[in-house]
Structure 1
Amino acid sequence: MDLKIPVMDGLEATREIKKLRPELPVIAETAYASAHDRQRSLDMGCDDFISKPISKELLMGIIRRFI
């Protein structure tokens, strides 16, 4: 889930998704990589966090944990 998307903030979109499908993993991704942004994403329901630019290996490792 990109945290900066048009119309609805990515964290708000995550909250809405989790209301409908709480078991569905959501991985936050953003260019803003502070510890505060990471914690805020996790607090808002994201299951993990990755910052841009995204490493293919890191992303695949995160995805593997959820499948």
Structure 2
Amino acid sequence: MHTSTRKKSSGIILLAEDDKLSVSYFKAVLSSEGFDVIHVDNGIDAVEKVRSNPELSLVLMDIKMPQKSGVEAAREIRSFNTALPLIAQTAFALAGDKETILGAGFNAYITKPVSREDLLDMVKRFL
């Protein structure tokens, strides 16, 4: 007998994003695939969550956030955690951005708006 379609956790993802619409979208997509999502809305909190949650599987971080940008937060995270996959998300992919993003310690980046398929492919690539 099949009692539940709820999957066991596929992992814990830290979503660092300050846009409410993007937060809702990312949470819906990731939760539907069994991921547990922890949300913060600025770079300072993102660094603190990584520091205090060693069980995190991956970080999905917006580049443009208040208090501390995603690039600054990634550099700080890399100073104490070099193994955690970091994926940048940006609506503004300009020439030179890729080098800045990857140079800050991100493993990869996705450009918003991002499709469900592209988001899940990117996340699963690192998990």
TM (norm. structure 2) is: 0.50
Larger Rg over CA atoms: 2
The Cα of 1:39 is off from its aligned counterpart by: 2.0
Identify the structure with bigger relative contact order (alpha carbons < 8 Å, sequence gap 6+).
Answer: 1
Partner residue of 1:2 out of 58, 62, 78: 62
Partners of 2:116 and 2:97 in 1: CA distance = 21
What value does the CA root-mean-square deviation take over the aligned residues? Answer: 1.0
For 1:21 and 1:39, how far apart are their aligned partners in 2?
Answer: 20
Gaps of 5+ in 1: none
Q: 68, 89, 113: which is aligned to 1:53? A: 113
- Alignment-derived partner of residue 23 in structure 2: none
TM-score by length of 1: 0.90
* Higher share of residues assigned helix: 1
Aligned residue pairs: how many? 67
- Aligned sequence identity (%): 43
